[in-house]
Amino acid sequence: MNTAALTPEELARLPVFPLPRVVFFPGSTLPLHLFEPRYRAMIEHCMSDGPQAFAVALLEPGYEAGYEGRPAIRTLAGVGRIVAHEAQRDGTHDVLLQGLHRVRLEELHDPSLPFRTAKATIVEPTSTEVPLGELQALLACATQVAQVVRAQHPDFAIGTSIESGAAHVADTLADRFVAAPEARQAILEELDLRARVSKVMDAVGGLLAMLATRETPS
């Protein structure tokens, strides 16, 4: 399983998979079923002479009218490597993508390819200082939500710990607990790590408050 960081050569011409409601975080895994001809071609390219990696970019609202072409996408996206792939008899493909980086996309226009590509630049946090107490509070809040979830899904886990570092904690908890695509995208685009942790805390805290209200007798 290749989870190495992308090389400059791979980033220079990276396939892009635009999706309407999917925001892909570093450290997460994303199962995908590719059935459109252009994305079948994309995965075949990736698995033959391509980078065995691609970016997943959120489509802008209103994409429906131009979906068959090149509707607008958010230019900050998640990129991952293909860690599992199965070609089906009907020509479709099942893949598992392992998230590696945030990237900023500068779209390329190659008429010889049916799928979209971009020059990608890895985006690092602009600030990495997060007070320990704030990280502990986020993990404590997520743990309380997870206890409720485990009543229905006993194997559910938050998937991170304070030893993993603030970036991993924020991205992992956002992936597990934040559902709305725009809220997820706002977290993906937040490059100040303390502010990112705060955004995730707001979302997880809101979820915990909602669960507490449901459990409180009227």
- Give the CA distances from residue 218 to residues 27, 52, 205, 209, in Å, rounded to whole numbers and listed in that order: 41, 54, 21, 15
Alpha helices (H) along 2-83:
8-12, 37-48
- DSSP helix/strand/coil, 178: coil
Assigned token pair, 128: 């990495």
On the 0-12 / 13-18 / 19+ scale of CB atoms within 10 A, 107 is middle
Q: Which domains does the chain have, with CATH numbers?
A: 8-122 (2.30.130.40), 132-215 (no CATH)
- Residues contacting residue 205 through CB under 8 Å, at least 6 positions apart: 141
> What does the pLDDT profile of the chain (218 residues) look like in tens digits?
577 889 999 999 999 999 999 999 999 999 999 999 999 999 999 999 888 999 999 999 888 887 888 899 999 999 999 999 999 999 999 999 999 999 999 999 988 999 999 999 999 999 999 999 999 999 999 999 999 999 899 999 999 999 999 999 999 999 999 999 999 999 999 999 999 999 999 999 999 998 888 765 44
For residue 86, what are its two tokens? 């199965």
**Helices marked H in 13-131:** 37-48
pTM (2 d.p.):
0.93
Distance CA(166)–CA(196), nearest Å, equals 9
Give how far Cα 201 sits from Cα of 68, 169, 177, Å: 37, 11, 10
